[in-house]
Amino acid sequence: MSEGRRVNRGPGAAADNRAALIAAARDTFTEIGFHAPLSLVARRAGVGQGSLYRHFPDRESLTLAVFEDNVTGLETFAANPEITLEDVLDRVIEELTAVTAVVADLDPTTTDSRITGLAERLRTLLAAKLDADRTTTPWRADLSADELVLAVAMLASLLAHADAAARPELADRAWNLLRRGLAP
């Protein structure tokens, strides 16, 4: 008699569950912060706690998956040659104001290859755009992609501690300041 208990949808549900967990984690971390109980993430994803642990054996795996999801989306977005570095950064900022906690809590000095790999993908993506835009956009001549990543990381950290409601305005002020440091 399995009444009450969610039906076991079997192996086919695995991919769905993974996606639901990532989405739930993004929302939950955004709202409650990075220290939100994992049980809450599982509940919101409509998934058992055991499944969460099967997909993501620790909190960091889950965080990384959320980040990975963002980077992938960004890569797709940036693939279009019409899109400028400015556009990409705008989107990054926009996503940050929502997701911050995730990126911010990834130790920027880590040597964990899962993290550095993602950071590298982000760096690569920004470097490519930077190269493409260099002559036509208002960026400092010696600006490096590393500096861009650093700027984004600072912004992310700042926003992670702010109240969700105050993030947009704070992001604006901070990005303005950072932009000056990136401009020619």
Partner DNA sequence: AATGAATGAGTATTCATTCAT
Partner DNA sequence: CATGAATGAATACTCATTCAT
- Residues interacting with a copy of itself, by CB under 8 A? 35, 104-110, 140, 147, 150-151, 153-155, 157-158, 160-163, 165-166, 170, 173-174, 177-182
Q: Residue 112, interface with DNA (CB under 7 A)?
A: no
Q: Residue 110, interface with DNA (CB under 7 A)?
A: no
Give the whole-angstrom CA distance, residue 78 versus residue 148.
Answer: 15
Which lies closer to DNA via its Cβ, residue 54 or residue 179? 54
Least Cβ distance, residue 158 to a copy of itself (angstroms): 5
Which lies closer to a copy of itself via its Cβ, residue 117 or residue 181? 181
| The total number of residues written for the chain in this structure | 184
Give the whole-angstrom CA distance, residue 122 versus residue 70.
Answer: 10
Cβ contact 66:102 at 8 Å: yes
Q: Which does 170 bind (CB under 5 to 8 A by kind): a copy of itself, DNA, none?
A: a copy of itself
Q: Residue 180, interface with DNA (CB under 7 A)?
A: no
What torsion, rounded to 10 degrees, do the Cα atoms 18, 98, 102, 162 define? -150
Q: Which does 8 bind (CB under 5 to 8 A by kind): DNA, a copy of itself, none?
A: DNA
Q: Which does 38 bind (CB under 5 to 8 A by kind): DNA, a copy of itself, none?
A: DNA
Give the whole-angstrom CA distance, residue 60 versus residue 160.
Answer: 17
Which lies closer to DNA via its Cβ, residue 8 or residue 80? 8
Q: Which does 179 bind (CB under 5 to 8 A by kind): a copy of itself, DNA, none?
A: a copy of itself
Q: Which does 168 bind (CB under 5 to 8 A by kind): a copy of itself, DNA, none?
A: none
- b/e per residue 27-53 (b: at least 16 CB within 10 A): bbbbeeebebebeebbebbebeeebbe
Q: Amino acid letter at 21?
A: L
Q: Residue 11, interface with DNA (CB under 7 A)?
A: yes
Among 23, 33, 44, 48, binds DNA (CB under 7 A): 48
Token couple for 184: 């020619």
- 156: Cβ contacts below 8 Å, ≥ 6 apart: 96, 100, 103, 104
